[in-house]
Amino acid sequence: MNRPSWSFFGNAWAVSLIQKHVAGGKVRHAYLIHGQDGVGKRTLALKFASAIFCQSGIKGEPCGVCPSCKKVEQGQGFDLKMIQRIPGKREILIDQVREAEAFLRITPYAAEKKVVIFQDFDLANGNTQNALLKTLEEAPPYAVLILLTQQPQSLLPTVLSRCEKLELRPVGLQEMRDYLVHLAAEPQTTDLISHIADGSPGIAFRLAKEGDEILRERREALDTFFSVLSLKLHERFNLADQLVRKDTKAREQAKTRAKKLKSGTKDLAEEGLEEDDPLEEGLAERWLLYWLHLCGDLRIRALGSTASITNIDQTDQIEQYSHKLGFAATDLCYGAIEKALFQMRADGNKRMVLECLFLDLPQKG
């Protein structure tokens, strides 16, 4: 069971380890927190920083209410620096690493340590990672670097070997159900959300809070996937066009929603959840993610496996289509969608990514 002051859901072992490092004065120079979208990487990193900076005097416990904890909750603080990809740039820039280095060169202002958190560090290329390596090697004793990534395999072995690695694992189904009960989610959607969230408390939180809208969107995405398989190429391209328009419109609406969410930041922070990754994705990315999970289910059934599937409300359709498509086609779909998602996240042209995907998907009348 996690300590209440951490209010972090899942991966209790990681909280215990960090707590021991902070309380015992054994905080390392560099950590790598990795795990899937919405699993709590950023939240855990911020709680870690809070535990270091907290003014309550209880070693290794972020009180959550002192001025330091409050600041860190917002990703701010004199001795904290958050670094992420600048909007419009494809990568984390080498200059951002130099900025971190300059920040670390000056001794801490109010605490014993200075913390730099790099989000999505897999978005740094080889040169940038090498620059960080130099920072890691020459870092002053008070420096703590925390790298976050979904894809540790994209990091240089030399960077990886210098970090203490914390792999956040997906949260189990029962734990997720308990969490949704704790969130007071609608009982009739608890089971479905536990499955769809696929081990990510961040996604479960969003589904529980904005359930109806998101579940409707998902339903539309899934229905579209089944219909796309029987469309002719020019019809698929029309669909790509419609989807891009939908995405643009949703982005506009998201701006309004972001304002609303900002006022609800405290809510998210209290639940110990990250407010960034799962919420910032565009509609097209979300659709691809629904499709990826759907094809994962199709593939499981096409293999003849009775393993648990994500989209439990689509059982009949999944049975039917997995037979119709067979393993090779479902596997092909999965691979094509995974590739498209990767390209879209790397800031690829959405229309082009979707058109390429629609070219790759098999045609089944």
Binding site for Zn ion (CB under 5 A): 54, 56, 63, 66, 69
CB nearer to Zn ion: pick between 69 and 104: 69
Q: How far is CA 262 from CA 84, 258, 301, 336, in A?
A: 19, 6, 41, 35
Q: How far is the CB of 150 from Zn ion (least distance, A)?
A: 29
Q: How far is the CB of 209 from Zn ion (least distance, A)?
A: 26
CB nearer to Zn ion: pick between 75 and 296: 75
Count H helices, E strands: the chain? 16, 5
Distance, in Å, from the CA atom of 134 to the CA atom of 237, rounded to the nearest integer, reads 47
CB 123 within 8 A of CB 150: no
Distance, in Å, from the CA atom of 52 to the CA atom of 114, rounded to the nearest integer, reads 9
Q: Which amino acid is at 225?
A: F
CB nearer to Zn ion: pick between 23 and 214: 23
Among the residues of 229-346, which ranges form H helices?
A: 233-263, 265-270, 277-280, 283-302, 315-345
Q: How far is the CB of 47 from Zn ion (least distance, A)?
A: 11
Distance, in Å, from the CA atom of 85 to the CA atom of 121, rounded to the nearest integer, reads 9
Token pair belonging to 69: 């904890």
Q: How far is the CB of 109 from Zn ion (least distance, A)?
A: 16
Distance, in Å, from the CA atom of 185 to the CA atom of 317, rounded to the nearest integer, reads 26
Q: How far is the CB of 56 from Zn ion (least distance, A)?
A: 5
CB nearer to Zn ion: pick between 2 and 56: 56
CB nearer to Zn ion: pick between 56 and 125: 56
CB nearer to Zn ion: pick between 63 and 312: 63
Distance, in Å, from the CA atom of 11 to the CA atom of 14, rounded to the nearest integer, reads 6
Paired with 54 in beta bridges are none
CB nearer to Zn ion: pick between 60 and 199: 60
CB nearer to Zn ion: pick between 29 and 71: 71
Nearest to 46 by CA among 29, 65, 70: 70
Q: How far is the CB of 89 from Zn ion (least distance, A)?
A: 34
Q: How far is the CB of 247 from Zn ion (least distance, A)?
A: 40
CB nearer to Zn ion: pick between 38 and 62: 62
Distance, in Å, from the CA atom of 338 to the CA atom of 235, rounded to the nearest integer, reads 22
Q: What's the helix, strand, coil split of the chain in %, to 5?
A: 60, 5, 30
Q: How far is the CB of 46 from Zn ion (least distance, A)?
A: 12
Q: Which amino acid is at 311?
A: N
Q: How far is CA 92 from CA 35, 84, 127, in A?
A: 19, 7, 11
Q: How far is the CB of 55 from Zn ion (least distance, A)?
A: 6
